[in-house]
Amino acid sequence: MLLIKRHIKQIVLGIFLTTVFATHAQVVEHSSGIQLKFKATDETFPENWYSEEINAHTTSLPNSEKKRSTAVLFAALDKYPLPIIQEHLIEIYLFGVLEFFNQGYAGTYSDNTLYMSNGGVDEGFTDGFIEQTFHHEFSSILWYAHPDLLDTMAWKKLNKIDYGDGGIQALIDDNDSQTFDTYYNERGFLFQYASSDLENDINSFAENLFAPTLEFRNALKKHPVLRKKMALLIAFYTALDPSLKSSFFAELPLVEL
């Protein structure tokens, strides 16, 4: 899950994207059948997420953000072979605000569903940030579906410091920076938040593999340990589909956050 701690291939879309999004509760990506939903119901989240402790809360995605959000997510989906999408994902919910444990989240997931928020560019929800959030959360779904395809033992041996107590605790302790940091790079992590647990560590590489920033690629050049982790994750994706190989990721355009 991607916590919010900040003041926060272009593709040809169907003709329906030119319609007035304000009247739509959902749209469908035509090739995969993935549903993008903009409105929560009483059954949107797993039942226990409505408990007093978790306290799931959302606000509607602003109408002005529906078209942009949809375009970004359709482009992100297009980076995966169709069978991977169809096997592992059913729907994506897009909200203006997404909160659990009284904390704001950029995204999270459950089974074959992704939940994401977009508070607008002024709050840090740029196209690049939204796309990275998608890849971040989708990598968890893929990893839990195929844990044997990633050599986590070799991955953890590359760490020079121990993991923390998870993303929520990192937020509580104010140890959740997502700024690239030489201290963490030298110890096998892209940034502080990635060191909170194994899943967030994997997520941090996945979001940058599919939507790379210049900062990410520069960090890889400087730190062999990061390149080794990247190679392990690429091997995971290649095992899922042979087209997702090193050359594919090397040719992806940079994004700006």
61-103 pLDDT, tens digit per residue, is: 999 999 999 999 999 999 999 999 999 999 999 999 999 988 8
% of the chain beyond a pLDDT of 90: 79
What pLDDT is recorded for position 7? 33
Per the CB < 8 A criterion, the answer to whether 74 and 12 are in contact is no
Burial of 41 (0-12, 13-18, 19+ CB in 10 A): exposed
Give the CA angle between residues 139, 137, 214 to the nearest 5°.
80
Give the CA angle between residues 221, 227, 231 to the nearest 5°.
140
pLDDT tops 80 at residue 15: no
Q: Rounded to an integer, what is the distance from CA 136 to the centroid of its chain? A: 2
Q: How much is the pTM?
A: 0.90
Average pLDDT of the segment spanning 191-208: 96
pLDDT tops 60 at residue 3: no
pLDDT category at 165 given cuts 50, 70, 90 is: confident
DSSP state of 77: H
pLDDT tops 60 at residue 227: yes
Instruction: Return the structure tokens found at 3.
Output: 């916590």
